[in-house]
Amino acid sequence: MQITQRKNALVFGGASGIGWATSQTLLDQGAQVTIADLRRPTEPGRLRYIACDVRDANQVCEAVKKAIERGPLDWLVYSAGIQHYGSVVDTPIEEYDFVQQVNARGAFLACRSAIPAMTRGGAIVLVSSVQALACQEGVAAYAASKGTLEALTRAMAVDHAKDRIRVNAVLPGTVDTPMVRSSAERFGGRDGLEQTLEQWGGNHLLGRVAHASEIARVIAFLLSDAASFMTGASYRVDGGLLSQLPVRL
């Protein structure tokens, strides 16, 4: 009988949204999961949690150390992300730096600490966005940070295939997460939040926003051995959002 090793996973930004849903999916599949996040999850349950500001290289390193207390790391997910609005001209420099630090530089730090800990090989998934490929107005900093994740995914896949580490990215469309809800509140007001989400959902071919678990399942697949020939690529999980040209006959 073949004994399969219990997978050891670390999820940055795992306390809410796509990161939380991914942590739950991985737990359900029998993995050991550590989450690193600024905030403690509301129901930590079976998870191991470490407080971590992804802007701080030492804290990121400590998170990896915590995850490998019981053995090498197999799976890394980077799902920490924030969205600020503005064009290049009206984005304050500090805000641009902040978004880059959380969304992109944090991924670099996480992978930098985690890859040497993946001593039996492994898989990494970075949570990017469709906005890395096509974007709406006023998301200059966010779109740039997500584009960075795309390039980082390829660079790491190239460098670490020899270490038996696969690296992929997912590009979600609009997902029902605290981040997107706070955007919807900003544009639709507290009372119009649900209506705004519904309207944004209508932009997708499937006519709705995604549930975080729908992204999590794809991330779990990309991490798993079922995806053993997949590396260096990005996968849209966007309900068809980018498939449609805004051209009417």
Torsion of CA 98, 102, 108, 114, to 10 degrees: 150
CA distance 193 to 15: 22
Is residue 197 close enough to count as binding ligand BMA by CB under 6 A? no
Among 13, 14, 173, 239, interactor with ligand BMA by CB under 6 A: 173
AA identity, residue 249: L
Q: How far is the CB of 64 from ligand BMA (least distance, A)?
A: 26
Is residue 79 close enough to count as binding ligand BMA by CB under 6 A? no
Torsion of CA 39, 43, 44, 45, to 10 degrees: 180
- Residue given tokens 């001593």 in the structure block: 119
Among 60, 111, 180, 212, interactor with ligand BMA by CB under 6 A: 180
Among 29, 87, 136, 182, interactor with ligand BMA by CB under 6 A: 136
Note if 85 is an active site residue. Answer: no
* Length of the chain measured in residues: 249
Q: What character string, x for contact with ligand BMA (CB under 6 A) and - otherwise, covers 94-133?
A: -----------------------------------xxx--
| Cβ proximity of 12 and 49 under 8 Å | no
67 vs 130, beta carbon nearer ligand BMA: 130
- The residues that are catalytic are 142
